[in-house]
Amino acid sequence: MENELIQWLSQPGLTHYLMIGALLFCIGITLVLTRRNVIMILMGIELILNSVNLNFIAFSRFSVITLDGHLTALFLIILAAAEAAVALAIVLNIYNRFKTIDIDEISLLKG
Amino acid sequence: MELQFLGIGILTWILFLPIAGLIIILLIPGDKLKAIRITATAITGIQVILAAVIFRHFDRAIEGINSIEGFQFVEKYRWITVEAVPWFGRIEINYFLGIDGLSVLMVILTALIGFIGAISSWTIKKQVKGYFALYMLLVTGMMGVFVALDFFLFFIFWEVMLLPMYFLIGIWGGPRREYAAIKFFLYTFVGGILMMLVMLALYFSVAVPDPETGEMYHTFNILHMMNPAYYVEGSILAGVDTTWRYVAWMALFINFAIKIPLFPFHTWLPDAHVEAPTPISVILAGVLLKLGTYGLLRISFPIFPDATMYFMIFMAVLGMISIIYGAFCALAQDDFKKLIAYSSISHMGIVVIGIAALNTQGMVGGVLQMFNHGIITAVLFLMVGVVYDRTGKRGLYDFGGLANQMPKYTGIAMIGLFAALGLPGLNGFVSELFSFLGAFEAYRWIAIVSVFGIIITAGYILWTLQRVFLGNTPEHLTSLKDLTTREMVCFVPLIILIILLGVYPAPAIELMNTSLSYLTQIVTVPAY
Amino acid sequence: MEQSMLHLSLLILFIPLAGFLILVFFGKKLPRQGDWLGTSLIGITLLMALYMLISKISSMSTETLTYSASWVILRNSSFGATSIDLGFMIDNLTVVMLVVVMLVSFLVHLFSIGYMKGDARYSRYFAYLGLFTFSMTGIVLTHNLLMMYIFWELVGVSSYLLIGFWYEKKSATNAASKAFIVNRIGDAGMFIGIMILFIHFSTFTFEPIFSGLAAGDLPFQSTAWLTAAGILIFCGAVGKSAQFPLHVWLPDAMEGPTPVSALIHAATMVAAGVYLIARMFPMLTAEALIVIAYIGAITALIAATIALTQYDIKKVLAYSTISQLGFMVMALGLGAFAAGFMHLVTHAAFKAGLFLGAGSVIFAMHNALHKKNDHHTDAQDIRNMGGLKSRMPVTYWTFLIFTLAIAGVPLTSGFLSKDEILAGTLAFSSLNGHYLLPIIAFTVAGMTAFYMFRLFILTFHGNHADESRISGLMESPLTMTIPLLILAGLSTFVFYSFNPLGASGGWFFSAIERPASMIPEALQPASAEIFNQAVKALHTPALILSVLIAGAGIFGAVWVYEWKKSSADVISQNFGALYKGAFNKWYFDEMYQYVFVGGTFILTKILRWFDEKIIDGIVNGAATLSERFSVMNRWFDENIIDGLVNFTAWFMGILGFVLRRLQTGKIQHYLAFVVLGVLVFYFIFV
Three-state secondary structure string covering C155-213: HHHHHHHHHCCCCCCHHHHHHHHHHHHHHHHHHHHHHHHHHHHHHHHCCCEHHHHHHHH
* C421 Cβ contact partners less than 8 Å away, ≥ 6 residues apart: C327, C328, C330, C331, C334, C336, C339, C340, C343, C441
Average pLDDT over residues C411-429: 88
3-class secondary-structure state, position A100: coil
Q: Looking at the complex, does the CB of residue A110 fall below 8 Å from at least one CB of chain C? A: yes
Pairing of strands B8-9, B72-85: unpaired
Q: For an interface test with A, which of C668, C669, C674 has the most A Cβ atoms less than 10 Å from its Cβ?
A: C668
**Disruptive mutation site among A30, A32, A35, A48 for chain C (greatest number of C CBs within 10 Å):** A32
Which residues of chain B lie closer than 8 angstroms to C131, CB-CB?
none
Of B266, B463, B518, the CB nearest to C77: B518
Where does the pLDDT of residue C512 fall: very low under 50, low under 70, confident under 90, or very high at 90 and above?
confident
Q: Is the pLDDT of residue C510 over 70?
A: yes
Q: How far is C660 from chain A (nearest CA, A)?
A: 5
A 10 A CB-CB count for B24 gives: 18
What is the model's pLDDT at position B88? 61
Residue C136: predicted pLDDT: 92
Cβ distance of A32 and C664 shorter than 8 Å: no
Cα–Cα dist B290/C146, whole Å: 28
Q: Is C440 in contact with C429 (CB distance < 8 Å)?
A: no
Quote the pLDDT of residue C219: 81
Which secondary-structure segment (H or E) carries B82?
A: strand B72-85
Residues 340-369 of B with CB under 8 A from C: 359-361, 364
Does residue B150 sit within a domain?
A: yes
Tens of pLDDT, residues A20-76: 999 999 999 998 888 888 888 889 999 999 999 999 888 888 877 677 888 888 999
Minimum Cα–Cα distance from A34: chain C residue: C668
C101 C-beta neighbours (distance < 10 Å), count: 30
Give the closest residue to C398 by CA, choosing from C526, C308, C484: C484
How far apart (Å, rounded) are the C-alpha atoms in residues C280 and C275?
Answer: 9
User: Hey, which residues 173-192 in chain B have their CB within 8 Å of chain C?
Assistant: 183, 186-187
Q: Are B334 and B397 in contact (CB under 8 A)?
A: yes
- Report which secondary-structure segment, H or E, holds C659: helix C642-659
**Is the pair B, A in contact (3+ CB pairs within 8 Å)?**
no
More confident position, C182 or C433: C182
Q: Is residue C264 helix, strand or coil?
A: helix
Determine if residue A38 is left, alpha or beta; phi over 0 gives left, psi from -120 to 50 gives alpha, anything else beta.
Answer: alpha
* CB-CB neighbors (< 8 A) of C192 in chain B: 440, 447-448, 451
The verdict on residue B9 lying in a domain is: yes
Return residues 104-143 of B near C (CB < 8 Å): none
B476 near B393, Cβ under 8 Å? no
Mean pLDDT lowest among A9-13, A87-91, B66-70, C481-485: A9-13
Instruction: Choose the mutation target among C77, C119, C192 for the interface with B, i.e. most B CBs under 10 Å.
Output: C77
CA-based nearest distance A92→chain C, Å: 17
Question: In A, which residues are within 8 Å of C661 by CB distance?
Answer: 111
What pLDDT score does C463 carry?
72
d(CA C489, CA C487): 5
Please name every residue paired with B4 in a beta bridge, in sequence order, or none if there are none. B9
Q: Grade residue C60 by pLDDT with cuts at 50, 70 and 90.
A: low
For C80-145, the three-class secondary structure string (H helix, E strand, C coil) is: EEEEEEEEEEECHHHHHHHHHHHHHHHHHHHHHHHHCCCCCCHHHHHHHHHHHHHHHHHHHHECEH
User: How far apart (Å, rounded) are the C-alpha atoms in residues C20 and C37?
Assistant: 10
Three-state SS for C41? helix
Count up the domains in chain B and report the number: 1
Question: Of C660, C667, C672, which has the smallest distance from its Cβ to A111's Cβ?
Answer: C660
Q: Please judge whether C180 and B451 are an interchain contact, meaning their C-beta atoms are less than 8 angstroms apart.
A: no
Residue B479 within any structural domain of the chain: yes
Other C-beta atoms lying within 10 Å of the C-beta of residue C507 = 16
pTM of the model: 0.84
Nearest to A110 among C664, C672, C675 (CB): C664
In whole angstroms, what is the distance from residue C53 CA to residue C99 CA? 7
Nearest CA in chain A to C668: A33
**Nearest beta carbon to residue C604 from set B332, B418, B504:** B332
C653 touches chain A (CB under 8 A): no
Q: How many CB atoms lie within 10 A of CB C659?
A: 10
Most A CBs within 10 Å, among C667, C670, C671, C679, to test the A interface: C667
C149·B518 Cβ contact <8 A: no
Using pLDDT thresholds of 50, 70 and 90, give the confidence band for residue C429: confident
* CA B108 – CA B96 distance, rounded (Å): 19
Q: How far apart are CA C454 and CA C460, in angstroms?
A: 10
Amino acid at C380: Q
Orientation of helix C145-163 relative to helix B427-442, angle to 10°: 130
Among candidates C264, C267, C252, C257, which has minimal Cα distance to C158? C264
Q: What is the pLDDT of residues B65-105, one digit of tens each?
A: 888 888 888 888 888 777 766 666 677 788 899 999 899 99
Q: Are C72 and B441 within 8 A, CB to CB?
A: no
Which of B267, B333, B424 minimises the CB distance to C619?
B267
B366's CB contacts (< 8 A; 6+ apart) are B293, B350, B351, B352, B353, B354, B355, B357, B431, B434, B435, B438
Q: How far apart are CA B7 and CA B225, in angstroms?
A: 30
What string of pLDDT tens digits covers the 528 residues of chain B?
567 777 788 899 999 999 999 999 999 988 888 999 999 999 999 999 999 999 998 888 888 888 888 888 888 888 877 776 666 667 778 889 999 989 999 999 999 999 999 999 998 888 889 999 999 999 999 999 999 999 999 999 999 888 899 999 988 888 888 888 888 888 888 889 999 999 989 988 888 887 777 778 888 888 888 888 888 888 888 888 889 999 999 999 999 999 988 888 888 888 888 889 999 999 998 999 999 999 999 999 999 999 999 999 999 999 999 999 999 888 888 888 889 999 999 999 999 999 998 888 899 999 999 999 999 999 999 999 988 888 888 888 888 888 888 888 999 999 999 999 989 989 999 999 999 999 998 888 999 999 988 888 998 999 888 888 888 888 888 888 888 888 898 899 999 999 999 999 999 998 898 889 889 888 887 665
Q: Which residue of chain A is at minimal alpha-carbon distance from C663? A: A111
- The dihedrals phi and psi of C612, each to the nearest 5 degrees, come to -80, -35
- Domain regions of chain A by residue span: 14-98
Fold of the domain built from segment(s) A14-98: Helix Hairpins (1.10.287)
**Are C313 and C459 spatial neighbours (Cβ–Cβ below 8 Å)?**
yes
Beta bridge partner(s), residue B81: B92
> Is C624 in CB contact (< 8 Å) with chain A?
no
Burial, A74: exposed, middle or buried (Cβ in 10 Å; 0-12, 13-18, 19+)? middle
Question: C49, C12 in Cβ contact below 8 A?
Answer: yes
Asked if residue C150 lies in contact with residue C72, where contact means CB atoms within 8 angstroms, the answer is: no
- Which residues in chain C are contacts of A110 at CB distance < 8 A? 663-666
Residue B227: inside a domain:
yes
Q: Do chains C and A touch (3 or more CB pairs under 8 A)?
A: yes
CB atoms < 10 A from the CB of C495, how many?
A: 17
Cα–Cα distance, C588 to C369 (Å, whole number): 33
Count residue pairs from B and C with Cβ separation < 8 A. 135
Name every chain C residue with its beta carbon within 8 A of the beta carbon of A104: 666
Phi and psi angles of residue C332, each rounded to the nearest 5 degrees, phi first:
-65, -35
State the pLDDT at residue C295: 93
Q: Read off φ and ψ for residue C81, nearest 5 degrees.
A: -95, 140
- Chain C partners (3+ C-beta pairs within 8 A): A, B
Q: Per the CB < 8 Å rule, is A33 touching C665?
A: no
DSSP string, C474-506: -PPPHHHHHHHHHHHHHTBGGGT-SSTT-STTS
CA dist., res. C98 & res. C95, Å (int): 5
Test A108 with C661 for CB contact under 8 angstroms: no
- If you average pLDDT over each of C56-60, C342-346, C581-585, which comes out highest? C342-346
Element (H, E) at C513: none
Residue C190 has pLDDT above 80, yes or no: yes
Pick from B186, B404, B513: which is nearest to C74 by CB?
B513
Residue A30 contacts C where some CB pair is shorter than 8 Å: no
* For chain A, counts of helices (H) and of strands (E): 4, 0
DSSP letters spanning C20-34: HHHHHHHGGGSGGGG
Distance from CA of C644 to the nearest CA of A (A): 27
pLDDT of C466 reads: 66
Q: CA torsion sign, C644 to C646 to C648 to C654?
A: negative
Interface of A with C in 43-102 (CB under 8 A): none
Range of the domain at B43: 4-523
Q: Residue C402: which residues within 8 A CB-CB, separation 6 or more?
A: C350, C351, C353, C354, C357, C487, C488, C491
Instruction: Tell whether B528 is covered by a domain.
Output: no
Q: Does B490 touch chain C (CB under 8 A)?
A: no
Alpha carbons A27 and B458: distance in angstroms, whole number:
110
Show the CA angle centred on residue B139, arms to residues B134 and B145, nearest 5°.
125
On the question of a cis peptide bond just before residue C500, with omega within 30 degrees of 0, the verdict is no
DSSP labels, B272-307: HHHHS-HHHHHHIIIIIHHHHHHHIIIIIHHH-HHH
Closest Cα in chain C, distance from residue B382 (Å): 22
Q: Which residues of C touch A90 (CB under 8 A)?
A: none
Q: Kindly list the distances between the CA atom of residue C94 and the CA atoms of C7, C91, C137, C160, C331, in Å, as whole numbers in the listed order.
A: 15, 5, 9, 25, 19
Instruction: Report the alpha-carbon distance of residue B97 to residue B222 in Å, rounded.
Output: 11
Q: In this structure, are residues C556 and C567 in contact, taking their beta carbons and an 8 Å threshold?
A: no
Question: Mean pLDDT lowest for which of B268-272, C11-15, C137-141, C218-222?
Answer: C218-222
Residue C469's pLDDT band (cuts 50, 70, 90): low
Kindly write down the DSSP assignment for every residue of B18-62, as one continuous string: HHHHHHHHHHS-TT-HHHHHHHHHHHHHHHHHHHHHHHHH--TT-
